Amino acid sequence: MGTTNFYLEPNSVCSGIATVPGDKSISHRAVMLASLAEGESQVVGFLPSTDCEATLKAFQSMGVKIDRFTETNVRIQGVGIKGLRAPSDKLDMGNSGTAMRLMSGILCGQQFDSILVGDHSLSSRPMRRIQKPLLQMGAKLVTDEDGTPPLTIQVSSELVGLNYVLPVPSAQVKSCVLLAGMYAKGKTCVEEKTPTRDHTERMLQTLSYPIEVNRHNVCVEGGGKLLASDIEIPGDISSAAFLIVGALISNKAVLTIRNVGVNPTRDGVIQILQLMGANIQLTNPRTMGMEPVADLIIHSSELHGIEIPQALIANSIDEFPIIFIAAACAEGVTTLKGAEELRVKESDRIAEMVKGLKVLGVDVDEKPDGLIVKGGELNGGEINSGGDHRIAMSFAIASIKAKQAITVLDTENVMTSFPNFVEVLSKLGLKITQQISQH
């Protein structure tokens, strides 16, 4: 079997004008909720990544008619909240924790059994966090002995509403419970001490579902209806983050990224980089449906190390790999604490980043819940992505500042979130080539 690697020449740049593909979190939710709505929804700006395609395919296999006009323009004929049909096979969620955890909430409310499986990485991710509240609602969901997928869901009697206090800040768990809540008797509320991304809440509102939203508490009424609506999806700030850091660490770059989602539950990366001295401006603020959007203008900046504020962790949880690259290029020390969740993402992102930064000669100290990075010069070397798209893309961006070439091994996974990464970054000046190696 062949694997894809990136080869990156040192000392390049990330400058110019770009757009990034549609938001991954919102694309999943658009497909899920438009499929359950009454009527036809047109989704524009859908992310054609392997993660989101897995969600789309799962709904097709449950009887939802979905037409593709282009890769990013999709028309969904909703079947109504009770209109899904039993799939003929297991539902394969690929690499996507979001797909698996959100779908579980929906599937627990159906009148058919289902089995959810995933790839090697997803098969080792913790699912007790969704199993616990779903069982409390009366669902029948079984995990492997160690709490990981596959997930077997059986028909249960009607779910009952739940008041659930999130034990870990997780939008996936919050969303799973709220989606199950649509099928439950009475009201289901989720309380979160730390606000997490609120795309499910916004998408439910877009599709007219009865929901009450407060800063720390969200409630849905069971037995409501979703009504179709056209949905425009903004560019993914998590993908934009690679370009942003690329421009910041470049020599004399000015980068404009158009149409980036800047939902306040997702913009922690901008705030953290600004605290490090980054020159990032938001212009042309507007909304796409319920989601705030802006164009970003980034100038190369002299970054300095900081202690990352706890309050910004949940809102930048996916951006730490690339924030660590910024920290490695900054003057002084950057410290992150209280981010143990990074160990249960697509890979153990603390361990993988420490390994890769050490290859580049960076002075880094691993902690159970974070790390300490001392900025300095970056060497080249060979780095394994650990099967994780964001690790692969982070080290590709590190090459901008590296003194020698970097090879990133196992980069096929970039297709899960940013399918045209090589094309977009090449146009901006990154010296990147893809290589297929045979094993």
Residues classed as catalytic? 318
Kindly state the smallest distance separating residue 270's Cβ from ligand S3P, in Å: 17
49 binds ligand S3P (CB under 6 A): no
Question: Which of 172, 347, 385, 420 touches ligand S3P (CB under 6 A)?
Answer: 172
Question: Which of 15, 19, 25, 104 touches ligand S3P (CB under 6 A)?
Answer: 25
Kindly state the smallest distance separating residue 24's Cβ from ligand S3P, in Å: 7
Query: CA-to-CA distance for 196 and 91, rounded, in angstroms?
Result: 27
Question: Which of 267, 318, 352, 388 touches ligand S3P (CB under 6 A)?
Answer: 318
127 binds ligand S3P (CB under 6 A): no
Q: How many residues bind ligand S3P (CB under 6 A)?
A: 10
Stretch of 36-44, 70-78, 168-176, 321-329 lying at the interface with ligand S3P (CB under 6 A): 168-176
Considering the complex, state which of residue 13 and residue 179 has its C-beta at the smaller distance from ligand S3P.
Answer: 179
317 binds ligand S3P (CB under 6 A): yes
Structural contact between residues 152 and 115, judged by C-beta atoms closer than 8 angstroms = yes
CA distances from 73 to 66, 81, 226, 244 (A): 10, 23, 21, 26
94 Rama sector, left if φ>0, alpha if ψ -120 to 50, beta otherwise: left
Stretch of 4-12, 76-84, 169-177, 354-362 lying at the interface with ligand S3P (CB under 6 A): 169-177
CA distances from 67 to 31, 40, 42, 260 (A): 12, 11, 9, 26
Residue numbers 335-394 binding ligand S3P by CB under 6 A: 341
263 binds ligand S3P (CB under 6 A): no
Kindly state the smallest distance separating residue 51's Cβ from ligand S3P, in Å: 9
Considering the complex, state which of residue 400 and residue 414 has its C-beta at the smaller distance from ligand S3P.
Answer: 414
CA distances from 200 to 131, 176, 265 (A): 19, 9, 12
Strand duo 65-70 + 73-79: pairing: antiparallel
SS3 content of the chain, % helix, strand, coil (to 5): 35, 30, 40
Q: What is the DSSP letter of 283?
A: E
197 binds ligand S3P (CB under 6 A): yes
CA distances from 207 to 19, 22, 78, 333, 417 (A): 27, 19, 11, 46, 25
Considering the complex, state which of residue 77 and residue 265 has its C-beta at the smaller distance from ligand S3P.
Answer: 265
Structural contact between residues 199 and 27, judged by C-beta atoms closer than 8 angstroms = no
Considering the complex, state which of residue 4 and residue 170 has its C-beta at the smaller distance from ligand S3P.
Answer: 170
121 binds ligand S3P (CB under 6 A): no
263 Rama sector, left if φ>0, alpha if ψ -120 to 50, beta otherwise: beta
170 binds ligand S3P (CB under 6 A): yes
CA distances from 121 to 324, 347, 348, 420 (A): 22, 7, 10, 22
Question: Which of 37, 130, 166, 171 touches ligand S3P (CB under 6 A)?
Answer: 171
Considering the complex, state which of residue 104 and residue 170 has its C-beta at the smaller distance from ligand S3P.
Answer: 170
Structural contact between residues 221 and 198, judged by C-beta atoms closer than 8 angstroms = no
Structural contact between residues 297 and 290, judged by C-beta atoms closer than 8 angstroms = no
Q: What is the DSSP letter of 21?
A: P
- Mark 81-110 with x for binding to ligand S3P (rule: CB under 6 A) and - for no binding: -----------------x------------
Stretch of 7-15, 164-172, 397-405, 431-439 lying at the interface with ligand S3P (CB under 6 A): 164-172
**Contact residues for ligand S3P, defined by CB under 6 A:** 25, 98, 170-172, 175, 197, 317-318, 341
